[in-house]
Amino acid sequence: MVWDLRRALLRKEEFESGRLTDFEFRETVRTLKLMAQAFEVDEAGVLGALVEHGFEAALSAFPEMLGEETREAVCLRLRGDARQMLIRERGDPTPYRLG
């Protein structure tokens, strides 16, 4: 029986890619939920737009401005908050190093 390094690395790559994609999706959903609360918009409608049409369509469901802040600035600020919440809940998404 021979240990196949290539197959092991491919398996690790697939696992890490799946884990990072999952974290990124959770971060996006959490960001949109926080934005829905900030803009006082229907959360279910925004998440439905995300599922059916993608992130840009979900983002366009929000008004252009929130006070002095643009929609994109609010999104960036809340994405940072969402990421920190997820890191506290699920751990750091940084891939594990070999060796």
pLDDT digits (tens, 9 = 90+) for 56-76: 999 998 999 888 889 999 999
With a pLDDT cut of 70, the percent of the chain lying above it is 93
Q: What residues make up the domain containing 61?
A: 27-90
Entry pTM: 0.82
Helix (H) or strand (E) holding 65: strand 65-66
Q: What is the count of structural domains for the chain?
A: 1
CA distance linking residue 46 with residue 49, whole number of Å: 5
Is 13 inside any structural domain? Answer: no
| Residue 51 pLDDT greater than 90, yes or no | yes
Is 1 inside any structural domain? Answer: no
Is 5 inside any structural domain? Answer: no
| Residue 1 pLDDT greater than 60, yes or no | no
Helix (H) or strand (E) holding 70: strand 69-70
| Residue 30 pLDDT greater than 80, yes or no | yes
pLDDT at 6: 87
- In sequence order, the 6+-apart residues with CB closer than 8 A to the CB of 38 are 66, 74, 78
